[in-house]
Amino acid sequence: MITKPPVIAIDGPSGVGKGTLCKELSKKLQWYALNSGIIYRALAIAALHNQVDISAEEALIPLVSHLINLNFTPHEKEIKVILAGKDISMKIHDQQVSDVASRVALFPRLRQKMLSVQHSFRVFPGLVAEGRDMGTIVFPDACVKIFLDANAKARTHRRMLQLQDNGVSVNFNQLLSQIEERDERDLHRSISPLITTDDALIIDSTNMSIQKVIEIALHYTRIQLAKA
Ligand code: DC
């Protein structure tokens, strides 16, 4: 019997370490990885590049077709992102792009259109997908669901180190308020808000190293996969 490729869904707020966990699990299992935030960020870049009004859902929807040409490949530190043949890796984490991505992500019809882009990543032997609504909306039948959490200060600290590692200097308080602002939008939007569900393992990583998070998630994943 041919079933759909299995999915591990990882959800959580921005800067919590979902990307690292997703990369590590996909490496260990030799499965594909989907960082869904990059899809929203690529759409934001396309909107900015084409000077599309980001408050107009109808104007943004045609841009989803640009994402057919979106490719991302693991890179040493960051993911290399190519949109329509252009390397947009350097822009993907810009503050303006982060802000626009979380604003365009509020539109219900746009999110609906983004589903097929995300579903196209579901291929054998399996997919590790991370975002805000992986286990609830995009892959509700995922065989493993993990909700990774940490308080805003811990996430700001991690994001700051990551940015510094990439040569970007930032102010802690400024970054904290940007993260809190994005949390507010991601948590309280009417469509696909970031929520925990009963079938997800919740890991609060506020006082935990990423190595420990990976260890817990991998152990849980192996148990769930053995049951599936
Ligand atoms: O994970 P990230 O910070 O790179 O995501 C950028 C924005 O994209 C985030 O603020 C909200 C949006 N997003 C979303 O709405 N749903 C997802 N599954 C992933 C990201």
Identify which of 19, 66, 11 has the alpha carbon closest to the alpha carbon of residue 38. 19
Cβ partners under 8 Å of residue 159, min gap 6 = 14, 15, 175, 179
Query: What is this structure's pTM?
Result: 0.92
151 SS3 class = coil
Paired sense of beta strands 7-11 and 32-35, if any: unpaired
Residues having CB closer than 6 A to ligand 1 are: 14, 36-37, 40-41, 98, 101-102, 105, 131-133, 182, 186
- CA 158/CA 205 separation, integer angstroms: 11
Domains and CATH numbers, the chain: 7-220 (3.40.50.300)
For residue 76, is pLDDT > 70? no
How confident is the model over 4-36, as pLDDT tens digits?
Answer: 999 999 999 988 999 999 999 999 999 999 999
Question: Average pLDDT for residues 153-171, to the nearest whole number?
Answer: 88
Distance CA 175, CA 115 (A): 30
Instruction: Compute the mean pLDDT over every residue in the chain, rounded to the nearest whole number.
Output: 91
Q: Which atom of ligand 1 is nearest to the CA of 98?
A: 6
Per-residue model confidence as pLDDT tens digits over 170-210: 899 999 999 999 899 888 888 888 888 899 999 999 999 99
17 annotated as belonging to a binding site for a ligand = yes
Q: What band does 77 get if pLDDT is binned at 50, 70 and 90?
A: low
152 alpha carbon – ligand 1 mean position (Å): 16
pLDDT of residue 166: 75
pLDDT at 90: 86
| Neighbouring residues of 203: CB distance < 8 A, sequence distance ≥ 6 | 146, 147, 148, 149, 213, 216, 217
- Using an 8 Å Cβ cutoff, are 131 and 14 in contact? no
